[in-house]
Amino acid sequence: MKRHVAAVVALVATLMVIDSHVDWVRQDGQSLVEVNGQRFDLRGWAAEQLLTLHRDCAPVHALPPQHATAQAVLAVIQQHSLPDSRSARWLQLQQQGDWSVAEVAFDALNPSLVVLHLQGDQWRVQDKAVWSGSTAPWHSADFVRRYLRQQAPQLPQALLNCVVIDPTRYGTVSGGLGPGASTVGDRP
């Protein structure tokens, strides 16, 4: 067999193998890559990689739990959704101006990211801008950032970009491109 024929046959065989294992699937109006039944959010992963290259966290302040603002924010969260919210404890608090994003853990609830806005002298939970639960199969950080941006459009972009979103708490099994927690077999 001539070299160019062998190269064409090898290329066609390779494309057929890839086609039998890799698909683009639509879910919730967006595309995911599916490899052997596991879904990957390639767009979300790429967006997070780009974000790490251009985010500026200089205007954002991470507050320690003992800071007066942190104590005031925690008290508001603990009273927000009683009785389960009483057990709220800090995972992180980021602040920029009169906006904060708090991540808290609870005894009986999933960890949550909560957007708060200072109005007058009182911190207020932005009820629609709270994330709790799994993002699978979507890339957790990108998915949560897009959700919070949609729910609280006035939230400063630098603050949103600098919040650390742990993929082990919100969906994907790894911080990388890893698959979401659900696979084809898990779907109804």
More confidently predicted of 187 and 57: 57
Which of 59-68, 75-84, 162-171 has maximum average pLDDT? Answer: 59-68
Asked whether residue 35 is domain-assigned, the answer is no
- pLDDT, mean over the chain: 81
Is the separation of the CB atoms in 174 and 167 below 8 Å?
yes
Asked whether residue 130 is domain-assigned, the answer is yes
Asked whether residue 175 is domain-assigned, the answer is no
Host domain of residue 120: 52-170
Tally of CB atoms within 10 A around 6: 10
Q: What average pLDDT does this structure show over 97-111?
A: 92
Q: Count how many domains the chain has.
A: 1
Asked whether residue 6 is domain-assigned, the answer is no
Is the separation of the CB atoms in 156 and 59 below 8 Å?
yes
Per-residue pLDDT of 32-79, as tens digits, reads 777 777 777 778 788 888 888 888 999 999 999 999 999 999 999 998
Nearest-5° angle of CA 174, CA 106, CA 112? Answer: 55
- Of 19-23, 112-116, 169-173, 184-188, the poorest mean pLDDT is in 184-188
- pLDDT value, residue 40: 74
Asked whether residue 139 is domain-assigned, the answer is yes
- The number of angstroms, rounded, from the C-alpha of 134 to the middle of its chain's C-alpha atoms is 9
Give the DSSP letter of residue 176.
S
Is the separation of the CB atoms in 163 and 55 below 8 Å?
no
Is the separation of the CB atoms in 135 and 171 below 8 Å?
yes
Tokens of 21: 């294992």
What percentage of the chain reaches a pLDDT higher than 70?
82
- Of 24-38, 55-69, 92-106, the poorest mean pLDDT is in 24-38
Q: Which residue blocks in 81-153 are alpha helix, DSSP H?
A: 140-151
Asked whether residue 5 is domain-assigned, the answer is no
Asked whether residue 132 is domain-assigned, the answer is yes
More confidently predicted of 122 and 181: 122
Q: Which of 35, 42, 100, 34 is nearest to 67 (CA)?
A: 100
Is the separation of the CB atoms in 104 and 89 below 8 Å?
yes
Using pLDDT thresholds of 50, 70 and 90, give the confidence band for residue 137: confident
